[in-house]
Amino acid sequence: MEYRRCGKSGLLLPAISLGLWHNFGDVDDYKNCRKILQHAFDSGITHFDLANNYGPPPGSAEENFGHIIKKDFEGYRDEMIISSKAGYRMWDGPYGEWGSKKYLISSLDQSLKRMKLDYVDIFYSHRPDPSTPLEETMGALDLIVRQGKALYVGISNYQVEEAENAIRILNELGTPCLIHQPKYSMFERWVEGGLLDLLEREGVGCIPFSPLAQGLLTNKYLKGIPEDSRAAKPTGFLQENQVTPEMVDKIAKLNYIAQERGQTLAQMALSWLLKDERITSVLIGVSKVEQLEDCLESYSRTIFSEEELEKIETILSH
């Protein structure tokens, strides 16, 4: 595994990190979850990303992860970087979502109980809250670090200006923003419009989520929608109607370039992100160990020729 420095911090993260948004809930196969986590760690993936609401049901991914680390990772906590987040709806009433101090502090306490941990390594504000002063949300992150419940803090889904303000406030508070977690893939490129420049300037790391566009940037949908795929599952966030003929045509063309490079499409999609040194790590999801093995081949092939890049641009821009 290659480890990259997270912004200008002291923390190194693996080029590939594993997220537990899908495939680790109570609706999923527990034995398979264990196998994936063991294989990931044995392959040098030290960073595991969670959130209060991951499941389904919400909270179950953290609970299952807690059981598995107790069982299989006893003694390895210091070799792991575990993150969690709060921002989306987690419980009823006015204190169960968004960015108030009340919600963030209570939610992290619940997450720590579910995961049976004393602290998380990174705690995120999962989304900006238009109704709560940013000073309050960032103040809660600062407090969490001072309480020893998280070592570092990050932000996710913050647009450029929101991120700029959050980073400034955290600096003033003396708890620098470690990392931003935006959606970024070949199919979703908003971060190229200023966010990556800001993060580089401020020395903040970047860990793109859904780098495979939830599985679209793989060869799995080329011949229809497989039964066990995210698009086919009732609990999957990817909808069947997102797998359009135009999308499949684009995927087929990208798949052809990947084959010419001697890579699978999943590998090329990750290599394409990792070619930019501002990307600290790509945050993938997997439903099988074989997918993880496939993705693991990507960080050693991040050089693209001008011609390859141009061909990719042409496909993506049509």
CA distance 98 to 115: 22
Which alpha helices (DSSP H) does 16-158 contain, by range?
30-42, 60-72, 101-115, 134-146
In the complex, least distance from residue 38 CB atom to ligand NDP, rounded to whole angstroms: 17
In the complex, least distance from residue 28 CB atom to ligand NDP, rounded to whole angstroms: 10
In the complex, least distance from residue 232 CB atom to ligand NDP, rounded to whole angstroms: 8
Tokens representing 311 are 């061909």
Contact present, 83 and 24 (Cβ < 8 Å): no
Is residue 181 involved in binding ligand NDP (CB under 6 A)? yes
- Choices 18-26, 34-42, 113-121, 254-262 (CB under 6 A): range interacting with ligand NDP: 18-26
Q: Which of 215, 273, 274, 296 binds ligand NDP (CB under 6 A)?
A: 215
SS3 204: coil
3-5 and 12-14 strand pairing: antiparallel
SS3 176: coil
CA distances to 33, 76, 185 from 19, rounded to whole Å, are: 12, 18, 15
Tokens representing 50 are 């969670």
The one-character DSSP state at 205 is E
Is residue 229 involved in binding ligand NDP (CB under 6 A)? yes
CA distance 47 to 288: 18
Is residue 123 involved in binding ligand NDP (CB under 6 A)? no
Decide whether 172 or 270 has the Cβ nearer to ligand NDP. Answer: 270
Q: Which of 156, 263, 281, 298 binds ligand NDP (CB under 6 A)?
A: 156
- For Cα atoms 142, 145, 151, give the angle at the middle one, nearest 5 degrees: 130
Decide whether 146 or 224 has the Cβ nearer to ligand NDP. Answer: 224
Decide whether 60 or 218 has the Cβ nearer to ligand NDP. Answer: 218
Is residue 220 involved in binding ligand NDP (CB under 6 A)? yes
Decide whether 74 or 228 has the Cβ nearer to ligand NDP. Answer: 228
SS3 209: strand
Decide whether 18 or 138 has the Cβ nearer to ligand NDP. Answer: 18
Decide whether 22 or 39 has the Cβ nearer to ligand NDP. Answer: 22
- Count residues binding ligand NDP (CB under 6 A): 30
Owner of token pair 């107790």: 70
Question: What's the half-sphere exposure (Cβ side, CA atoms, 13 Å) at 89?
Answer: 6
Q: Which of 7, 14, 19, 25 binds ligand NDP (CB under 6 A)?
A: 19
Is residue 21 involved in binding ligand NDP (CB under 6 A)? yes
- Choices 26-34, 141-149, 290-298, 305-313 (CB under 6 A): range interacting with ligand NDP: 290-298
**Residue 289 burial (C-beta neighbours within 10 Å; 0-12, 13-18, 19+):** middle
Is residue 121 involved in binding ligand NDP (CB under 6 A)? no
Q: Which of 141, 145, 295, 312 binds ligand NDP (CB under 6 A)?
A: 295
Beta pairing partners, 48: 18, 82
Residue at 305: amino acid letter: S
Is residue 285 involved in binding ligand NDP (CB under 6 A)? yes
| Residue 32 CB coordination number (10 Å) | 15
In the complex, least distance from residue 306 CB atom to ligand NDP, rounded to whole angstroms: 27
The site for ligand NDP (CB under 6 A) is made up of 19-23, 49, 126, 156-157, 181, 209-215, 218, 220, 229-230, 266, 283-287, 291, 294-295
